[in-house]
Amino acid sequence: MIKDIKVVILAGGFGTRLSEFTRTIPKPMVKVRGKPIILHIINHYSKYGCKHFIIASGYRGKIIKNFFKKKNKKFKVDVIDTGLKTMTGGRIKRLKSILRNQTFLLTYGDGLSDINIKKLIQFHKKNKNIATLTAVRPPARFGAIKLNGTKVRYFREKSSLDEGWINGGFFVFEPEVFKFIRGDNTYLEREPLEKISKKKLLGAFKHKGFWQCMDTKRDKVILENSIKQKKYRV
């Protein structure tokens, strides 16, 4: 059952590209429409019945811990210090004893999506993968043109269809993933996922709905507007 599956949220990075907001707080605590983005993420998972969240903290992790201590919540949140400079794979490795020998969900603490978590898990189980990531098409930033000399032959306004599929987070993992992670210096997105992919055990759940990360101030504005315009419902 979904309520028995733990959700890991990676929340330990420095968020340097959003330094205007992250000098004093960790990026997952940056507010989007009045709430920390990490709370939006948790609320989305909880809609599908997820009850237990494990936050892999690092930079200014005590702020996250204190926030959830004060929250009157309907779900359990464990904030675990996974080191200041630990990489994404290393943070997961440090949680091995907590996650035990069970399937678990994982995502980044700086992105929102309206992905159907139930369908994601069903896809993962059906395909018998060690890992499944959510593949998304990021919003294109520029219009597309074709030139004939100095004349524009073709112009089209920017579209997500102009971009390729990328890793959008919102993973499902089997405990076998730990075999592919060496230690603190391991990036999840490099050696572990590359090796799992070569074994043809890395699935891609294609999501064509809303998805937006928050790497920069511009991204934050896009998220704010998306919620205001109800492109993403909170």
What pLDDT does 110 receive?
97
Per residue in 139-158, pLDDT (tens digit) is 766 555 566 675 566 555 55
Buried b (16+ CB within 10 A) or exposed e, 167-183: ebbbbbbbeebbebbee
Query: Considering the domain 2-228 in this protein, what is its CATH number?
Result: 3.90.550.10
CB-count burial class (<10 Å; 0-12, 13-18, 19+) for 116? middle
Whose CA is closest to 16, among 6, 26, 8, 7?
Answer: 26
Q: What is the pTM of this model?
A: 0.91
Map out the domains of the chain as residue ranges: 2-228
Helix (H) or strand (E) segment spanning residue 122 = helix 117-127
Average pLDDT (16-39) is 95
Mean pLDDT (the chain) is: 91
User: Mean pLDDT, to the nearest integer, of 160-189?
Assistant: 90
Alpha-carbon radius of gyration of the chain: 18
Pair of tokens at residue 22: 């992250």
Is residue 168 a contact partner of residue 211, using CB atoms and an 8 Å limit?
A: yes
